[in-house]
Amino acid sequence: MIDKRAPLTWDLQTTFFDRFKDQDDLYCSLVAPSPLHNPVMVSSNASLALELGLNPESMTEPAMLRLMAGDLAETSFHPIALVYSGHQFGVWAGQLGDGRAMTLGELAVDDNNGRSQLWDIQLKGAGATPYSRFADGRAVLRSSIREYLCSEAMHGLKIATTRALCLVTSDTSVYREEVESAAMVCRVARSHIRFGSFEHFHYRNQPEAVKAMADYVIARHFPEWADEDLRYANLINHTVTETAKMIAHWQAVGFAHGVMNTDNMSILGDTIDYGPFGFLDVYNPSFICNHSDANGRYSFKNQPSVGLWNLNALATSLMTLLPSETLIAALKHYEPTFLQHYRDLMAAKLGLLHYADNDETLINSLLALMEENQVDYTLFFRQLCYFSEPRQAVRDLFVDREAFDAWAVLYVERLSQQSVSDNDRSEAMLKTNPKYILRNYMAQAAIEKAEKGDYSEVNLLLDVLQNPFEEHPQAEHYAGLPPDWAETISVSCSS
């Protein structure tokens, strides 16, 4: 039980790496955070605090601030940084690892079903580790705000993701293109094990370490998979399924990750490592959110196939654990699983109770029309929720209104095949078509204010994005089209 008055008695198990038995230093290194100077709590996430069994008010206590700024003097934690490798932009990059993230330990949280769920509590931006290579181990305020808000926006959108407990800024300076403030996000995740964690040992010719990594993941997350013969096949099948589902969600909501390297792919299929991500404004399948991605490898429309490419890299690294037929069979599930989830999600966005075979035409012709007419993706679906009322608003989003009318005839016909009242359909659609997404310009507005010491926008956006399907009168201005200046924002890997 966590004592709600004393946050530093967090029941953090620091046995994380002990589970790798005698070979800890093969998998991770003991590290010590470099605390930030004069830390300030920019924002803390009350709803996640509650989920973790913490008193949200304790988040603003001085002892918590010190801890979340990397000062472990009052604790007995033994943080670790994990090693991993990965394919970056399709090329084997060799050893990477937690270059600026340190995991303090695991927090056991009762999940109300009599089971205990372990959450990794991690500080991102905590200073150099043995895997920092030539970088400083820090994270700047602007990128930390983006990670903090997007983690929670994705959770609000019901997409599997790592979470963010709080965001701290400081007087500590870091140098990027210019001098910036160093910040830390407390990332909370079911797991930080990546596809690249397995690739690391495979390419170092250490099959026993690949096996230990798989055993660790299974023991922590799937203790019910006791059967020696099936457990590794279960693992690859599970990762294939969850990755397909995650990317189906990304496509349905219009999210582009931006850096789908294998070191940024979670073994559990959670969205991880928010950098130069972007949400679609107008529907543009070729959308590239990462300024550094000149060839568009990670463009919006490429994400589903990159997911499979990455799973293929994971499967390759499990070749010493499983026969190739098993791996190939697992990979073959990816496309049907992706399609099934994507279609179900798109059908729900259109207010259809079920996806029917002919709906492919309905969906694809709509997307083609949206692309041609440069229609805002989120705004369109939100307005479609009110379709039964005079159609004007949604129709007006199209330059070619007659083409929209022609599509609407098909849509009305399709709706008539199900017996759902306009009202009920509208209510269901409002729960699946968000009013708010984290557009770049919104993050930028929060960043610009925060850099001047005003954290109100970060907190407003946190509140809005955690409940993106609801009305927020104080944030109505964020529910419309992005302003013209939004097009000048450029985000890249630099953070």
Active-site positions read 263
Q: Which is nearer to ligand AMP, 137 or 254 (CB)?
A: 137
Residue partners of 369: CB distance under 8 A and separation at least 6: 375, 398, 400, 403, 404, 407
Interaction between residue 262 and Mg ion (CB under 5 A): no
Q: Judged by CB under 6 A, which stretch of 41-49, 60-68, 130-138, 303-311 contacts ligand AMP?
A: 130-138
Q: Which is nearer to ligand AMP, 8 or 93 (CB)?
A: 93
| SS3 assignment for 292-340 | CCCCCCCCHHHHHHHHHHHHHHHHHHCCCCCCHHHHHHHHHCHHHHHHH
Cα gap 321→231, rounded to integer Å:
10
**By rule CB under 6 A, what count of residues binds ligand AMP?**
16
Q: Which of residues 261-280 bind ligand AMP (CB under 6 A)?
A: 264, 273, 275
Q: 3-state DSSP call for residue 80?
A: strand
Q: 3-state DSSP call for residue 261?
A: coil
Amino acid at 30: L
Instruction: Please select the residue that binds ligand AMP; options are 78, 87, 100, 341, rule is CB under 6 A.
Output: 100
Instruction: Please select the residue that binds Mg ion; options are 122, 243, 264, 310, rule is CB under 5 A.
Output: 264
Q: Judged by CB under 6 A, which stretch of 97-105, 115-123, 152-160, 462-470 contacts ligand AMP?
A: 97-105
* Per-residue tokens: 243: 């990755």
Least separation in angstroms between residue 140's CB and ligand AMP is 9
Q: Which is nearer to ligand AMP, 7 or 70 (CB)?
A: 70
Q: Are 450 and 145 in contact (CB under 8 A)?
A: yes
Q: Judged by CB under 6 A, which stretch of 128-136, 378-386, 427-435, 464-472 contacts ligand AMP?
A: 128-136
Q: Which is nearer to Mg ion, 263 or 376 (CB)?
A: 263
Q: Judged by CB under 6 A, which stretch of 129-137, 316-324, 344-352, 362-370 contacts ligand AMP?
A: 129-137
Q: Residue 98 touches which of Mg ion, ligand AMP, none (CB < 5 to 8 A by kind)?
A: ligand AMP
Residue nearest to ligand AMP (CB): 99
Cα dihedral 150, 120, 17, 211 sign: negative
Q: Are 166 and 126 in contact (CB under 8 A)?
A: no
Q: Residue 137 touches which of Mg ion, ligand AMP, none (CB < 5 to 8 A by kind)?
A: ligand AMP
Instruction: Please select the residue that binds Mg ion; options are 98, 106, 180, 273, rule is CB under 5 A.
Output: 273
Q: Are 451 and 139 in contact (CB under 8 A)?
A: no
Q: Are 122 and 188 in contact (CB under 8 A)?
A: yes
Amino acid at 96: L
Interaction between residue 98 and ligand AMP (CB under 6 A): yes
Interaction between residue 192 and ligand AMP (CB under 6 A): no
Q: 3-state DSSP call for residue 109?
A: strand
Q: Which is nearer to Mg ion, 147 or 457 (CB)?
A: 147
Instruction: Please select the residue that binds ligand AMP; options are 4, 13, 60, 135, rule is CB under 6 A.
Output: 135
Q: 3-state DSSP call for residue 453?
A: coil
Q: Judged by CB under 5 A, which stretch of 41-49, 258-266, 367-375, 409-417 contacts Mg ion?
A: 258-266
Q: Residue 304 touches which of Mg ion, ligand AMP, none (CB < 5 to 8 A by kind)?
A: none
* Per-residue tokens: 75: 């604790």
Cα dihedral 285, 290, 293, 297 sign: negative
Least separation in angstroms between residue 150's CB and ligand AMP is 13
CA atoms lying within 13 Å on the CB side of residue 489: 22
Least separation in angstroms between residue 91's CB and ligand AMP is 13
Residue partners of 33: CB distance under 8 A and separation at least 6: 70, 71, 72, 79, 102, 123, 126, 127
Q: 3-state DSSP call for residue 428?
A: helix
Interaction between residue 147 and Mg ion (CB under 5 A): no
Q: Residue 99 touches which of ligand AMP, Mg ion, none (CB < 5 to 8 A by kind)?
A: ligand AMP
Interaction between residue 270 and Mg ion (CB under 5 A): no
Q: Which is nearer to ligand AMP, 275 or 304 (CB)?
A: 275
Least separation in angstroms between residue 182's CB and Mg ion is 18
CA atoms lying within 13 Å on the CB side of residue 3: 5
Q: Judged by CB under 6 A, which stretch of 6-14, 93-101, 154-162, 462-470 contacts ligand AMP?
A: 93-101
Q: Residue 120: left if φ>0, alpha if ψ -120 to 50, beta else—which one?
A: beta
x/- track of binding to ligand AMP for residues 419-458 (CB under 6 A):
----------------------------------------
Stated as kind and residue range, the H or E segment containing 12 is strand 12-13
Q: Are 282 and 374 in contact (CB under 8 A)?
A: yes
The conformation of residue 226, written as its DSSP 8-state character, comes to -
What residues make contact with Mg ion under the rule CB under 5 A?
264, 273
What residues make contact with ligand AMP under the rule CB under 6 A?
96-100, 131-132, 135-138, 259, 264, 273, 275, 493
